[in-house]
Amino acid sequence: MSAFATRAVHVGQLPDPLTGAVVPPITLASTYVMDEVGVPRAGYDYSRSGNPTRSGYEAALASLEEGERALAFPSGLSAEDTVLRALTRAGDRVVYSQDVYGGTFRLFNVLLPTEGKPTIGLDATDTDSLRAAIRDARPRVVWLETPSNPLLDIIDIATAAELAHQVGAFLVVDNTFATPAQQLPLKLGADVVVHSTTKAIGGHADLVGGAAVFVPGLELGRDGVSETGLVADEAYWWQNATGAVPGPFDCWLGHRGLKTLQTRVRAASASAQQIAAALALIPQVRRVRYPGLPGHPGHQLAARQMTGFGQVVSFQVGDPGLAKAICESTELFALAVSLGAVESLIEYPAAMTHPQKADSDAAIPADLVRVSIGLEDTGDLIADLTGAIERAVASHA
């Protein structure tokens, strides 16, 4: 297998056979001519069921995550919903790490219970608690987000996979923060990886998308709606049945993002490391949450299961009003939700991306600020954050 960067550029991107164009043309067609009744010319009949641009993108996603098959979706949440539909039925339980994206938390605490699927959230960094929950609940699915959003918790994927498989459960890992450029959950024992490709994979704040990637030969282990009994085929059936498919231009944008993913993530992560260290020296900053810092409780684990520490940094300042003021005082950092773009972003998670967790055991600390580091000059970003904190402190005094 060729190196990551080589696969990112070439898999699913064969030059156009007619013109030789190094970037294949986007297939915008919704329907495809058949030479015989019911016999598609190249396997495509209608673009909800399959599209050449989407196929190339999915091939690249599968290659980079070192999985067998990938499915592209119109959002990260639609990818999560489809995976859960494929894996679970009424009565099945789901155990999940409770520091997850707010929309994911809503799926587990509102949607799944209405379908008769009980869910159990816990601090999955505590292996003993995770072991006990899996042993007692005997779930159908164990769901992890690592690094987590927005607290940057690190969870032991290999241990979680072992515990899940002992009771016949599937392990699903949200790899959005790390990306396949810095973490390969399927190689650590996970069964399915999900992504919000809106984030670092797209990388330019111009795409909303999602993806799911499946370990080779993964069997559903029960009767399903697909004919093969494979989880990937079951998920594809649900995707096609519900129409949860991205448009070809979004697939083209996502595939373009994959080509520069490793370079962008490496650069942004190196900058994030310096910014986290600089924040740790500011008196008003009570705690910096970044797995690249030696003081982070998951630092050693992250160093083992990741090849970099990511481009997101969270920090706490001891006062909710001050946290909000900092978010409103930057000049380079844009006050906006999302992450992983070339532009640096700042947000207040408790009110912007995770309000669904308010009044729950998983509520986000009210003094937490989250920043997504882009590709601007590191010194300029540090100066912007430092200046914003100084201005916020002065105005909040």
Structure token pair of residue 180: 């396949």
CA-to-CA separations, 151 to 81, 148, 167, 218, 379, in angstroms, rounded: 23, 6, 29, 31, 24
In the sheet where 312-316 sits, what is the strand order?
Answer: 287-289, 312-316, 368-372, 345-347, 334-335
* C-alpha–C-alpha distance, residues 279 and 315, integer Å: 8
Q: Are 328 and 335 in contact (CB under 8 A)?
A: yes
199 is catalytic: yes
Catalytic residue among 117, 140, 199, 289: 199
CA 207 from centre of chain: 14
3-state secondary structure of 314: strand
Question: Residues 6 or more apart from 347 whose CB is under 8 A from it?
Answer: 327, 335, 336, 337, 353, 369, 370, 371
330 C-beta neighbours (distance < 10 Å), count: 22
Catalytic residue among 32, 45, 48, 287: 48
Catalytic residue among 99, 174, 233, 250: 174
Write the DSSP string, 141-177: EEEEESS-TTT-----HHHHHHHHHHTT-EEEEE-TT
Catalytic residue among 101, 236, 290, 348: 101
3-state secondary structure of 355: helix
Give the DSSP H or E segment for 335: strand 334-335
Of residues 189, 149, 199, the one with CA closest to residue 166: 189
Cis peptide before 216 (omega within 30 of 0): no
The angle at the Cα of 147, spanning 283 to 219, to the nearest 5 degrees, equals: 170
Q: Which residues are catalytic?
A: 48, 101, 174, 199
